[in-house]
Structure 1
Amino acid sequence: MSRSPLDRRTLLTGMAALSAAATVAPQASGQMVKRLAPTATPTRIAFGSCAHQSKDQPIWDAILAAKPDLMILLGDNVYLDTRNVEDMKAKYALLAAKPGFRKLRDAVPIVATWDDHDFGENDAGADYPMKAESRRLFCDFFGEPADSIRRSRADGIYTDYLFGPAGQRLQIILPDLRWNRAPLKTIDMGGQDYETWAKARHAAGKSVPGPYERQPEEGASQMGEAQWRWLEERLAQPADLRILASSLQVVSDFPGWEAWINFTHDHQRLIAAIRQKRANGLFCISGDTHYAEFSRLDLNVPYPLWDFTSSGLTEVWPVLPPNARRVGEAYRSQNFGLIEVDWAAGAVQIGIHDVVGQRQLAQGLRLADLRVG
């Protein structure tokens, strides 16, 4: 893997400026949440997903020790898995009580999206009946103001953030892949349940994808038309570096679990939008999988499309699904991601770090390579 060394003096200078730029905003529930001013230019951005509130969470200390300017939570930030609002509240309270999370929340601005478990149920989509209640609790917990558009959109909590001046402008885009998601389609398992089918394939030495099939139909979408129009408009905004922070993997090649590739039209429309809007400087980060890996797509894209998956903060998956676009090895233990931006060199370093902060995977990018030709 290529590695791009960063100028540590640049990072330390940026951190000092960011400390002055961070403000504190009240949550609707009365808690306090740090905000990062739009004029700030973050250069160290941590990210992660899949933190079960009932488990020990020592990884927050490692994240805090990495001194990020910003933390992006990519979903499954709690595991609600209920239709009882009081149970939902109790599970958020368990996360809030974790000492490591409290320290991180008090020191580092956090932006977040949700995935299925904090949306409400495993692999849930548009037909989940408690999504309004889930949204209210999510927005309260992450300090969305009472007039936040995330509280009132008709079709979900999607949003984006812009930081920094021209020449160092960072855009972070957080789509909502749950609120309007069409029903999933399962593969043919010969009448068996998934567990029996998967065990038989594993015993036969075959790869074991998840149970979901591709959906090529144009109307099958994770996001819905209104969110798509919003995303295309946001990709047209001026930015020097863009992070598409997706709860699900964007680039992986048919793992069989939930991923962008399962909705063929969405997958192709994203690539077309990057090209048509000349959205330079974009790479993806994602969660959900319970393992970490890097994926790269080179075919029929305006420039190499990277996806850096970090999962989970507590969760680990026992079987590694296939992914023809995987670059290098996957890392299969608790982990978080760290993005380090060197604006002077036009370089970005993305690392996957373990529960004590040691880097296990790394990849360097040059912004000059992420440009529409």
Structure 2
Amino acid sequence: MPTSTSTLLGSPDEHHSRQVTTLAFGSCHNRRLLEKYHAETGDTKSIWKSVAEQRPDAWLWTGDAVYLPKRKGVGSVQSLVDEYNEMLYIRNEQTASEPLTLQYGEVVKYVVPLGAFGTWDDHDYGANDRGNDMPQREPRRDAFLDFLDVPQDSPRRHREGVYNSITFGEGDKKVKVIFLDTRWHRDSHLIPSLASSKIPLGSVLACLTRWFSAAQLPERQKDYDGTVLGEEQWQWLERQVEDSDASVNVIVSSIQVFTTNPAVESWGHFEKERDRFVRTIQDLPGLVILSGDVHHAELLGAGPILEVTSSGMTHSCTGPFYGVLCEHILDSFNTHRKQSDFPSGSNGYYTDKNFGTLKIDWHSKTPTFTVNVHDHSGKIVLSTVRALSNSSKLSEMEIQRIPKLAEDHNIPTFQIATTISLVASLLLIVLMIWMRRALQVRLLYTAKRKYT
């Protein structure tokens, strides 16, 4: 049974005395796409069955546990509640009778002994790319905490955000997981995102404006004072790090920390915040950062600090939106990437549907943890091993040398291409708006003629 802890800033929100050896994690889960995949392919093995086969002690959400039916604008709180309830619905009370069709509700109830924990990202927050300008943040928080079965009397119910921490195990076999909230307090990007607007291709335009600011405005980007966490969460994080006595420290950020890809949301768009983050966490032993959001899996980091992204449980960056450009973009921005220890020859990323596991070997002479990325069927496609004793310390000079967004591409050709792409997209959007309005006028004219 979990134990409630002190409300002091440095204390975990929840402690489980059970020793853990396997934690599974994932992000970007759209149940409609999962249902569509099974219907179209005839593949009866759910990705949740593959998760269950890893026999995890707990499940960690790294963001986007649900997607709303309405992709434009801001989703209602009730629509979030409806999605969470669908996720938790138990379709198969006797899990042994149809083991291949396991879904999230059955896995959390029957398979994972310690349950599910996590943080949100933009889609389970309610709108693409949104931050501190989101309306109705408190009821959205409450709906998410209900989804995770957080007690009604928990101090988290009164917190500005869903950031939290949990510890597993005792003594020198303790694991601490710190979940950050990169939405509640986050300021707009240097050029505010239009992804949640009703403008056609708003998500594409948001990617291009992020790309443009990194390529054309690097000095302004470097000096930008926007926040990711907000000062209250910063103080909480600093105390969580200072008071940690865990041998393994897992930090969950829904957005990537060290990527150099300028198109995606990341800490790199808030460079001062990212550097503060590194300075804050670098002394933790057994450190690994888990992230999501980008619809591909990746091994990345800065110096000895390891980050593992698992994203796209139900969809991939090679589908609509990025499409055929996905792998080309990933190959172009790679200075942040680490190589996989297994399988050999891996390029350090994986673009199909995936989830992750963190496996801890407490009993070897030199205790280690292994982070694996698994494909839909459970096969390992990326893997990296770290000794718990490895230092993650960076010098101030090394922090300053962490690769910046688009750093290898800040050349005239790249800048010109970025500008042309942005202008072309704006012209395309204007054309689409004009065509839509022209069609509306034509339909109205036709209707008037019909009734006159």
Same fold (TM over 0.5): yes
What displacement does 1:132 show? Answer: 1.7
The secondary structure found in structure 2 opposite 1:351 is strand
Residue 309 of structure 1 aligns with which residue? 309
Find the partner of 1:221 among 214, 217, 227.
227
SS in 2 for 1:136: helix
Structure 1 residue 44, shift from structure 2 partner:
0.5
Q: How does 1:201-220 map to 2 (within 5 A)?
A: 210=211, 213=214, 215-217=221-223, 219-220=225-226
Corresponding residue for residue 164 of structure 1: 169
Distance 2:205 2:153 in 1: 48
Deviation at 1:23, TM superposition (A): 6.5
Report the CA distance between 1:256 and its aligned residue: 2.7
For 1:105, the aligned partner's letter is V
Structure 2 residue 55 is the aligned partner of structure 1 residue 67: yes
For the pair 1:89 / 2:81, whether they are aligned, the reply is yes
- What letter corresponds to residue 279 of structure 1 in structure 2? L
**What secondary structure is seen at the aligned counterpart in 2 of 1:369?**
coil
**Contact 2:285 2:389 survives alignment (8 Å):** no
Is 1:266 equivalent to 2:273 in the alignment? yes
Percent of pairs with identical residues: 30
Q: Closer, same or farther in 2 for the Cα pair 1:353/1:211, shift >3 Å?
A: farther
2:360 is matched with: 341
Structure 2 equivalent of residue 204 of structure 1: none
Q: C-alpha distance in 1, partners of 2:235/2:181?
A: 13
SS of 1:56's equivalent in the other structure is helix
By how many angstroms is 1:253 displaced? 2.2
1:211-269 CA-to-partner distances (Å, cap 9, x unmatched) read 66473346311111110011011111222110011111122224431111111111100
**What is the alpha-carbon distance in structure 2 between the residues aligned to residue 196 and residue 39 of structure 1?**
46
Q: Structure 1 or 2: larger strand share? A: 1
CA contact (8 A) 1:83 1:120 kept: yes
If each structure's helix is expressed as a fraction of its own residues, which one has the higher value? 2
Amino acid at match of 2:316: V
Question: Contact (CA 8 Å) 2:189, 2:226: kept in 1 or not?
Answer: no
CA contact (8 A) 1:180 1:223 kept: yes
The residue number in structure 1 matching 2:433 is none
Q: Does 1:239 align with 2:270?
A: no
Whether 2:368 is the aligned partner of 1:357: answer no
The amino acid that maps onto 1:76 is: D
Query: Structure 2-normalised TM-score?
Result: 0.66
Superimposed CA distance per residue, residues 11-46 of structure 1 (whole angstroms, 9 cap, x where no aligned partner) = xxxxxxxxxxx5799xxxxxxxxx995211211010
Counterpart mapping for 1:1-373 below 5 A: 38-56=16-34, 58-80=46-68, 82-97=74-89, 99-106=102-109, 107-108=111-112, 109-153=115-159, 155-186=160-191, 210=211, 213=214, 215-217=221-223, 219-237=225-243, 238-275=245-282, 278-298=283-303, 304-318=304-318, 319-320=326-327, 321=329, 322-328=333-339, 329=347, 330-345=349-364, 346-370=367-391, 372=393
Alignment TM-score, normalising by the size of structure 1: 0.80
Q: Give unmatched runs, 5+ long, in structure 1.
A: 1-21, 26-34, 188-192, 202-207, 299-303
Q: Alpha-carbon deviation of 1:369?
A: 1.6
TM-superposition CA deviations, 1:185-209 (whole Å, max 9, x none): 239xxxxx7888899x9xxxxxx98
Q: How much has 1:94 moved relative to structure 2?
A: 2.5
Q: CA deviation at 1:370?
A: 2.8
Contact 2:295 2:351 in 1 (8 A): yes
Instruction: Count matched residues.
Output: 325
Partner of 1:32: none
The structure having more radius of gyration, on CA atoms, is: 2
Measured after TM superposition, the shift of residue 210 of structure 1 is 4.8
> Pairwise CA RMSD of aligned residues?
2.9
Q: 1:229 to 1:24 in 2, by over 3 A?
A: closer
Partners of 1:115 and 1:245 lie apart in 2 by: 11
Distance in 1 (CA, whole Å) between partners of 2:231 and 2:204 is 38
Opposite residue 337 of structure 2, the aligned amino acid is: R
- Looking at structure 1, the residues matched to 204 and 62 of structure 2 have their Cα atoms a distance apart, in angstroms, of 31
How far residue 372 of structure 1 moved from its aligned partner, in angstroms, is 4.2
Structure 1 runs (4+) deviating above 6 angstroms are 193-199
CA distance in 2, matches of 1:111, 1:195: 29
The one-letter code sitting in structure 1 at the alignment partner of 2:280 is A
Residue identity in the other structure for 1:331: Y
For 2:155 and 2:376, the matched residues in 1 are separated by 35
Q: Match of 2:103, as an amino acid?
A: G
Judged with a 3 Å threshold, the aligned counterparts in structure 2 of structure 1 residues 211 and 157 are, in CA distance, closer, same or farther, namely: farther
Which amino acid in structure 2 is aligned with residue 148 of structure 1? S
